[in-house]
Amino acid sequence: LFTIGCEDDDHDDHDEEGHTDAEGFILKSEDGTEIYKQFEGAIEGALTLNAGETLELSVHFLDHDGEEIEHEEEEGEDHEDGLEVSGFNSNIAIIEVEEHEGEDDHEHGMAIHVVGVSSGTTNFELRLMHQGHADFTSLDVLVTVN
């Protein structure tokens, strides 16, 4: 059996077609503080907020060495690419993707907003999409709303 995927054999961060070989990600607050990290199956940190509160978090993907992958906007880049989130219970928290144009403080141009709706816990899955498929899919991210 053969499998064909987006990963290339030499494990570059980006191949010639623009795929990202991510091994994890970091969520940072507006002031640049690392709030949450997933890397090679290990999880550090937690997403906790109060009902009525919103967390604005920039998303930074990590390479196989745990270093941040620089995202470069290219002319003609497919705008169908980007982040997707799914799986959350919108009665507890709403997770929204915000795409930036690279002109603000978010280095990689990707961010999410987590809005606390009511007390409880929920999970969401984060995917980095490229040409209709996921280059990276996270483990479930736990969100606790007080």
138: which 2 tokens? 């996270």
pLDDT beyond 60 at 77: no
Note the pTM of the prediction, 2 decimals.
0.79
Confidence label for 43 from pLDDT (cuts 50, 70 and 90)? very high
Q: What Å distances lie between residue 79 and 69, 82, 120, 131, 132, CA to CA?
A: 19, 7, 34, 9, 11
pLDDT classification of 100: cutoffs 50, 70, 90: low
Dump strand ranges (E) for the chain: 24-28, 34-39, 42-45, 47-49, 54-62, 82-86, 93-99, 110-116, 120-130, 133-137, 141-145
Higher pLDDT, 116 or 5: 116
Check residue 131 and report its DSSP letter. T
